[in-house]
Amino acid sequence: MMAFTEKTTNENPPIRVIFYSGYLWSYGYEEAYSRFLNWFKIFPGEIEKTRLSRLDICLDTDEIAFNEEDRELFITRARAKANHYVDDSYTYGKNFSGFTIGRGNPMLARIYNKTQEIKTKGKEWFKAIWKENGWDDNKDVWRIESQLRRAALKELKILQVEDIRENEDQLWHYLTTNWLKMNHPKWTVIKKPINPDIKPLF
């Protein structure tokens, strides 16, 4: 989605672009961004600079699962922790579905049962992506997701799309080691980097 603004300020850029998850999962964020830049060439003028106002980064895994008791094992810089439940039409009562940690500004983390969520939100196309990456469809997929807004991104020196690729391993290390961690062996599945020779952001 793209929106134009009448009055430009530091917090209100002339053009705001939102990439929705379906588009990003179809092409990847770099290809999605490149497609937008190519499409934008139909307009007169040039893009002088860009900046990120929000970034969501996640990992999906079927190697581990979480339960309500795990809440007390998290060590985080955020003050707020909340459990969430979803209705399950196949059983009585409510089933645990995950956590939210943090208030969202400037950061929060969500840990939740993604398999359960796609049943209620109709995102069955995720299953094809998971299967391409070795999903055991007898297991639930859990998502570990962090949401960062402008203030956090600025502090971490991730100011534009190009900065994501250069810092993604360092960012994931910070999010799963400094900002949030879990006092349990299964957290090693979450925090392991793509590149083991990463250098910390701080």
Q: Write the DSSP symbol of residue 137.
A: T
Torsion angle in degrees (nearest 10) through CA of 67, 72, 76, 78: 90
Alpha carbon distance 164, 87 (integer Å)? 36
Six-digit token string for 54: 């929000």
**At a CB cut-off of 8 Å and minimum separation 6, what does 150 contact?**
51, 52, 53, 54, 106
Instruction: Give residue-wise pLDDT tens across range 105-129.
Output: 899 999 999 998 888 888 889 999 9
Secondary element (H or E) of residue 96: strand 94-101
> Does a structural domain hold residue 6?
no
Mean pLDDT within 97-101: 90
pLDDT tens for residues 62-75?
999 999 889 889 99
In a domain, 20, yes or no: no
In this prediction, residues 166-171 reach a mean pLDDT of: 90
Domains contained in the chain, number: 1
pLDDT in tens, 45-55: 788 888 899 99
161 occurs within a structural domain: yes
- 5, part of any domain: no
Task: State which residues form the domain around 58.
Answer: 51-191
Q: Give the predicted TM-score (pTM) of the model.
A: 0.83
Residue 194 parent element (H or E): none
For residue 25, being part of any structural domain is answered with: no
C-alpha–C-alpha distance, residues 10 and 89, integer Å: 48
The 3-state DSSP class for residue 85 equals: strand
Asked if residue 9 belongs to a domain, the reply is no
